[in-house]
Amino acid sequence: GAGVSQSPSNKVTEKGKDVELRCDPISGHTALYWYRQRLGQGLEFLIYFQGNSAPDKSGLPSDRFSAERTGESVSTLTIQRTQQEDSAVYLCASSPPGKKTYEQYFGPGTRLTVT
Amino acid sequence: AQSVTQPDIHITVSEGASLELRCNYSYGATPYLFWYVQSPGQGLQLLLKYFSGDTLVQGIKGFEAEFKRSQSSFNLRKPSVHWSDAAEYFCAVGTTSGTYKYIFGTGTRLKVLA
């Protein structure tokens, strides 16, 4: 079946512009995660959605970052007034319900470059 | 604080040699443990996971990992490395209390010599 998809795959933007990154999780997956991966570094948790519960936003680095999810479907990560330090690969992952909820399936990522 | 440490940033091995990638974690409860692999330009792929039971777990691509509670470790091993194993490997802890999420290590980049 189809995996997690993300768009765009690459995004180059000027400092100060807003960007929107999209994630389409695997159908039926109730949990959705966003991570940031800076060059040469590990994954940094940003935000977690689980069904209709309030999202865990504890990883968002500043109020310029926000994310939304429509039900158990698409999610968008928005970065306002982008800064050069926002340049990174943004990864989305989703997890199924039930016993396998701890297994995360990752998308290919969106590479964001802020010039 | 919860954390995952991968002490080796880079490892180079010859094709056919054995491999061990180290992972140490700090977590108050019994953790869920994972290894992921990230090939160049690709997303992360789950290699194997430990939830409970047998402390030696088998994964895909011939990898295995052993959970050692006394050492707070979950090292990844492969008896004979293939050139296609060159990639970055991430160890992760899945928190089992409160809001569920992963804590990732900083990764180990594996280079394989022909």
pLDDT digits (tens, 9 = 90+) for A55-96: 989 899 999 999 999 888 899 999 999 999 999 999 999 998
- Integer Cα distance of A7 and B88 in angstroms: 23
Hey, are the CB atoms on B46 and A105 less than 8 Å from each other?
yes
Position B16 confidence tier, pLDDT thresholds 50, 70, 90? very high
- Integer Cα distance of B2 and B93 in angstroms: 9
Q: Chain B: nearest CA to A70, how far in angstroms?
A: 20
Instruction: Choose among B99, B102, B106: nearest Cβ to A104.
Output: B102
- Integer Cα distance of A1 and B85 in angstroms: 25
Query: Both tokens of residue A38?
Result: 């800076």
Position B99 confidence tier, pLDDT thresholds 50, 70, 90? low
CA A97 to chain centre: 19
Q: Would you call A10 helix, strand, or coil by DSSP?
A: strand
Residue type, A101: T
A85 touches A25 (CB < 8 A): no
> Strand B108-113 and strand B73-78: pairing?
unpaired
